[in-house]
Copies of this chain bind each other. A is one copy, B any other.
Amino acid sequence: MTASATRDRICGNVSAPEPTRKPFPMPSDQPETTTDYDFSEQIGHLLRKAYQRHVAIFQRNACDPQLTGVQFVTLCAVRDRGPSSLTQLVQATAVDQATIRGIIERLKARDLITLASDPEDRRKVVVNLTDAGRTLIEDMVPHARRITELTLDGLNPAERLAILFLLRKMNEQEPPE
C-alpha cells in the first residue's frame, strides 16, 4: 500500500495536479482520490464471489455431476410452465437468448427434453420434458434444497430472509437505460 503510494508519486499521473474537472457529480462527499477505492468491498465483486461459491457448492452436491445450475433451472421452468418456446424459457429463467440455445442443445443431447415445432407458428421450437428429465428433477430437488442450505450456511434464519429479500428488491430495479 505504501509501496504503491510512493510509486504513484514517482511514475503515476503526476502530470495533472487536479484540473478541477469532475466527470460526475459525486453522490456524497466521496473524495476524488483513487486511493480509497477498495474493489474488494464493492457490490459487484461481492456478488461475483458469492455466485462463484454457490456454483462450486452446486457442482459438489448435485446428484448428477453433469448437470449445471442453469440447466436445472431450465428443466424446472419447463416442468412448471409446460411445453415452452425458447422465448418463454428466456423470460422464465433469465438466461440470455443466445445462451439458452446451448443449454437446450445439451439437455436434448442427454434426452432430458424433446424438441418439436409448433404447427400453429412454425418459427417456434417447443421444448418438452422426457420421462428421464422429469425423473431427474424429482431426484434433484432434495439436493437442490441442500445446495440452497449450504450456500446460506453461516447466516442465521433472520439473515437468510434478509438477503433473499434484498436480492429480490435489487433485481426488481431495472438497470438504467
Contact = CB atoms under 8 A, between A and B. Distances in A.
Interface residues of A, number: 102
Number of copies: 2
Interface in A14-54: 16-17, 19-20, 22-27, 30, 32, 34, 37, 39, 41-54
Contacts of A120: 11
A67 interface: no
A144 interface: yes
What is the interface of chain A mostly: helix, strand, loop, or mixed?
helix
Interface of A: 1, 3-9, 11-13, 16-17, 19-20, 22-27, 30, 32, 34, 37, 39, 41-58, 60, 63, 69-70, 72-73, 76-77, 79-83, 88, 91-92, 94, 120, 131, 134-135, 137-139, 141-155, 157, 159-173, 175-177
A108 to B, nearest CB: 18
A170 B134 contact: no
Contacts of A50: 47, 167, 170-171
A137 B160 CA distance: 36
